[in-house]
A and B are shown apart, each in its own frame.
Chain A
Amino acid sequence: DQQVKQNSPSLSVQEGRISILNCDYTNSMFDYFLWYKKYPAEGPTFLISISSIKDKNEDGRFTVFLNKSAKHLSLHIVPSQPGDSAVYFCAAKEGTSGSRLTFGEGTQLTVNP
């Protein structure tokens, strides 16, 4: 039973445009959400996070939106750059489970020059 799902395995956008990566979850106990970015042959690196008490968190070109009623979050990257090309993983935590992260299967973003 996959509690975090990223239904788009890949996304291709033009440089300068907006990239929108989506993530859905089923566990209503999740209260903290994260996005990780992964380049080939490297480990995932933390990008941005959001607590369930917020609906938006922004960090430079990256913004994460959370819609709790829909159990949906999205990552917006604007403007997209070729260096953003990577696999993006959505992850979620329950407060009571402490450190256990549940990951989605990832979305490969390709930003074309």
Chain B
Amino acid sequence: DTAVSQTPKYLVTQMGNDKSIKCEQNLGHDTMYWYKQDSKKFLKIMFSYNNKELIINETVPNRFSPKSPDKAHLNLHINSLELGDSAVYFCASSRRLAGVTDTQYFGPGTRLTVL
């Protein structure tokens, strides 16, 4: 059973399009995250949600809009895609928000390529 799953695994699209990436976790965790791994390989947090509530919103263009229909799902919608949005996007989850020692479990990643 996959703990944190993301769809699609690969996404190739044209500039200006709108696309969504879906994430689901079956771990019963309260907190979910989106990270972006850019061309320099840094993994940087974009958003975190706790029980469907937005907690962390890093300096991310408002073209990126996370949506959490329930605590097991955190989807990422991106409007008006730009070349610089090309990256690998990772979803993650952890048991609690404020648990310093809580491990984050990552999905397999979605490689987004904007042409």
Contact = CB atoms under 8 A, between A and B. Distances in A.
Question: A and B from one assembly?
Answer: yes
Interface of A: 2, 31-32, 34, 36, 41-46, 49, 51, 87, 89, 91, 93, 95, 98-106
B106 A101 contact: no
Contact of B105 (A46, A91, A105): A46
Interface of B: 4, 9, 31, 33, 40-45, 48, 55-56, 90, 92, 94, 96-109
Contacts of B40: 105
Contacts, number: 66
A99 B90 contact: no
A101 B108 contact: no
Contacts of B96: 99
B42 A44 contact: no
B100 A31 contact: yes
Contacts of B56: 99-100
B48 A100 contact: yes
B92 A43 contact: yes
B94 to A, nearest CB: 6
Nearest to A47: B103
Given A34-B103, A99-B102, 19 more contacts: A2-B42, A41-B9, A41-B108, A42-B109, A43-B4, A43-B90, A43-B106, A43-B107, A43-B108, A44-B90, A51-B101, A89-B43, A95-B100, A98-B99, A100-B45, A100-B48, A101-B104, A103-B42, A104-B42
